[in-house]
Structure 1
Amino acid sequence: MRCPAMVTYCMTTRTYYTPIKMKVSKSCVPSCFETVYDGYSKHASTTVCCQYDLCNGAGLNAPGTLTLAPILLATFWGLL
């Protein structure tokens, strides 16, 4: 995904509907922020930001991110 020059970050959001069903969406954002729980839709979600020129690969698959997401997700379902 290529973002316009004026936008600094590409944000990938994973929204978990169930522990095994999720939706991945990408958007171009001027600043990076993290969302762990969406109070409006009542779904757990995680976000990953990277520089827009890295959105086609390396920045999205950081090992720490892939490891952390299931842990956060399990914690959320335990709290609900």
Structure 2
Amino acid sequence: MKRVVNVAEAKAKLSELLEAALRGEEVVIAKRGKPVATLSPIEPAKTRKLGLIDMEIPDSFFEPLPEEELEAWEGR
């Protein structure tokens, strides 16, 4: 279902509109009757558990080190 709201209503009901978007409802914000933006949910960030701490760790953390840096760690 598509819901079109004007800017003034969007300002007044932003929390409600965000909840609607999270439920999968299409929310369009219009200015003077013309659509200008759409609210939609974003993908949640991937998290990995590191020991007992639940935190965001970028995938790049698990990539191999560049050869130059690896040599420095190994004392070469």
| TM-score greater than 0.5 by the shorter chain | no
What is the TM-score with the length of structure 2 in the denominator?
A: 0.27
What is the TM-score with the length of structure 1 in the denominator?
A: 0.27
* Higher Cα radius of gyration: 2
